[in-house]
């Protein structure tokens, strides 16, 4: 299985791969075995809205080796638009946990870049408690600002990770990876949004039953009311654009 042969659902001009969590892990193992660099995006409805006004971001998602369906809204939209069905949600935060387990089993080296100072370290430490064999290539907060780019690349290069997780939020994390992918030559580079905050316990993830009711957005609104505009983009604006697109 290679990612360029995977079925794709196109939602508002954004291509999302129709993959399951298990297929994602299998592909990641293939990417690591190949040794060539690959960019992965964890696409959610907010990404799709942002891509409407940010051509660079849209192009990055559309040429990613894997654009993962990280939002129930995307699954619903694919069905509503008569696109290739997206089989299940592949959530970035869950993927990070599965990658830590894979690292524990196979010895893959993971670098944790991003979030506020100390958070990447704490996230990695918490994962190591669960998976003692996890190989942490390094952790660093840094910033997606261009002035820091060179310093961060030089920090990461000698640590030779197999997997680089970048937690700068979209679209900055995805632009950061696109800009540095060729130079870093890391087989798997993934933008993981607020995952380190969840893993470090800085922000609480919605309980399982809330996620199953597809109300994770409501939980985030209650926890971080200042995100209302972003949540509105992901829920309201996205639904409106998809509805208009079908007409």
Residue 111 found at the interface with ligand UDP (CB under 6 A): no
Beta bridge partners of 123: none
Closer of 8 and 199 to ligand UDP (Cβ): 199
97 binds ligand UDP (CB under 6 A): no
Counting residues that bind ligand UDP (by CB under 6 A) gives 13
Q: Which stretch binds ligand UDP (CB under 6 A): 13-21, 71-79, 153-161, 168-176?
A: 168-176
Residue of 168, 176, 217, 238 that binds ligand UDP (CB under 6 A): 168
203-235 core/surface letters (b: 16 or more CB in 10 A; e: else): eebbeeebbeeeebbebbbeeeeeeeebbebbb
Sole residue written with tokens 């995100």: 227
Q: Residue 118 or 207: which CB sits closer to ligand UDP?
A: 118
Q: Give the angle subtended at the CA of 157 by the CAs of 188 and 3, to the nearest 5°.
A: 15
State the nearest-atom distance from the C-beta of 34 to ligand UDP, in Å.
28
Q: Which residues does 103 contact at the CB level (< 8 Å), separation at least 6?
A: 109, 110, 131, 133, 134, 135, 162, 163
Among 27, 49, 78, 167, binds ligand UDP (CB under 6 A): 167
Minimum Å distance from CB 92 to ligand UDP?
Answer: 7
- Regarding 116 and contact with ligand UDP (CB under 6 A), the answer is yes
User: Is residue 194 a contact point for ligand UDP (CB under 6 A)?
Assistant: yes
In whole angstroms, how close is the CB of 142 to ligand UDP at the nearest point? 8
Decide: is 176 part of the binding site for ligand UDP (CB under 6 A): no
CA distance 3 to 10: 15
Chain centroid to CA 7:
19
Sites of contact with ligand UDP (CB under 6 A) = 114-116, 143-144, 167-170, 193-194, 196-197
């Amino acid at each position: 299985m290679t990612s360029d042969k995977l079925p794709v659902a196109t939602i508002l001009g954004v291509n999302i791969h129709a993959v399951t969590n298990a297929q994602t892990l299998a592909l990641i193992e293939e990417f690591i075995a190949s040794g060539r660099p690959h960019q992965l995006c964890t696409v959610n409805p907010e990404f799709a809205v942002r891509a409407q006004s940010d051509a660079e971001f849209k192009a990055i998602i559309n040429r990613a080796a894997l654009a993962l369906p990280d939002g129930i809204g995307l699954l619903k939209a694919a069905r509503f638009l008569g696109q290739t069905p997206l089989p299940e949600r592949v959530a970035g935060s869950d993927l990070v946990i599965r990658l830590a387990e894979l690292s524990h089993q196979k010895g893959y080296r993971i670098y944790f870049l991003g979030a506020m100072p100390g958070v990447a370290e704490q996230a990695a430490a918490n994962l190591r408690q669960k998976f003692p064999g996890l190989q942490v290539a390094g952790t660093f907060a840094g910033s997606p600002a261009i002035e820091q780019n060179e310093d961060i690349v030089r920090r990461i290069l000698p640590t030779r990770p197999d997997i680089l997780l970048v937690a700068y939020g979209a679209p900055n994390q995805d632009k950061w990876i696109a800009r540095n992918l060729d130079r870093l030559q890391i087989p798997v580079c993934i933008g993981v949004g607020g995952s380190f905050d969840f893993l470090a316990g800085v922000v609480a993830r919605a309980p399982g039953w809330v996620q199953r009711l597809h109300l994770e957005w409501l939980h985030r609104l209650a926890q971080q009311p200042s995100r209302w505009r972003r949540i509105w983009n992901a829920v309201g604006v996205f639904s409106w654009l998809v509805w208009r697109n079908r007409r």
